Each structure stands twice: as C-alpha cells, then as structure tokens.
Amino acid sequence: MRIQDIIEGKKKYRAHVARVKALPQDYQIVYKEIQKYLFKVGPVELTEGTDLLSGIIDLFEEGAALGKGVLEVTGRNVAAFCDDLIKDSRTYADIYQESVGQEVNKTIEKVTDKTK
C-alpha cells in the first residue's frame, strides 16, 4: 500500500465522520448503533471501504432534510433494517461456515478412507 493511498483513505474517513457529526442527534445515535451492529455481523464489504456506510448517511441526510425522524427512515426495528441492507452481502459468518463445512468434509473423507 502506498503512502498516497493511506493519506487518501484518511481524508475520506475524516469527511465521512464530518458527515455523521452534521446529522441531527437522533440520526447520529442510530447511525452509531447501525455501525456497531454491522461490524459485529460482519459484511465483508464493510472492511473494503465506506460505501455501505456512506449510503446510509446519504439516506439519513435525505430523511433529515425532509424533516423525518430517524425511525421514520429506518423503521422501529433497526436491526431488521440493517439485515435488509446486507441480505445479499457476503459476511464473515458465511466464510466461517464454509470453512467449517470444508473441514468436516475433509475429516470425514479421511476417516472413511481409512475404514475402506
């Protein structure tokens, strides 16, 4: 990774944080909870940039501009809102499940090969 890429990444991150801080308080609270939730659930694309989170901020900025409360935008079940956002995304849980399945299959093959 080049120094220029690191500097550019920091600039983007600072701009992202500034957008969050410019949101109304209720939006900031829900955004932070969404961010925590998504980092725990682990969509792979979340670590590859801020596109998903930037899209949420876009949506929140639009809702705030229309005078809507944040829960009018997300619905009362914020976790379900998040799940819907990432329903087609690959998650770290998916990757882990695949690796467990592969290990089980390898182990079973070894055991069955020895019994033949």
91-113 tens-digit pLDDT? 777 787 888 878 878 888 888 87
CATH code of the domain containing 69: 1.10.1900.10
Q: What is the pLDDT of residues 53-77, one digit of tens each?
A: 889 999 999 999 999 999 999 999 9
Which amino acid does the sequence have at 60? F
110 part of a folded domain: no
pLDDT-based confidence at residue 29 (cuts at 50, 70, 90)? very high
Contact 53, 16 (CB under 8 A): yes
* pLDDT over 70, % of the chain: 92
102 part of a folded domain: no
Contact 92, 48 (CB under 8 A): no
Which amino acid does the sequence have at 99? S
Contacts of 100 (CB under 8 A, 6+ apart): none
pLDDT-based confidence at residue 40 (cuts at 50, 70, 90)? confident
33 part of a folded domain: yes
34 part of a folded domain: yes
Number of domains in the chain: 1
Query: Would you give the distance in Å from CA 20 to the centre of its chain?
Result: 16
- Domain around 18: 3-89
Residue 20 above 60 pLDDT? Answer: yes
**In this structure, what DSSP letter does residue 67 have?**
T
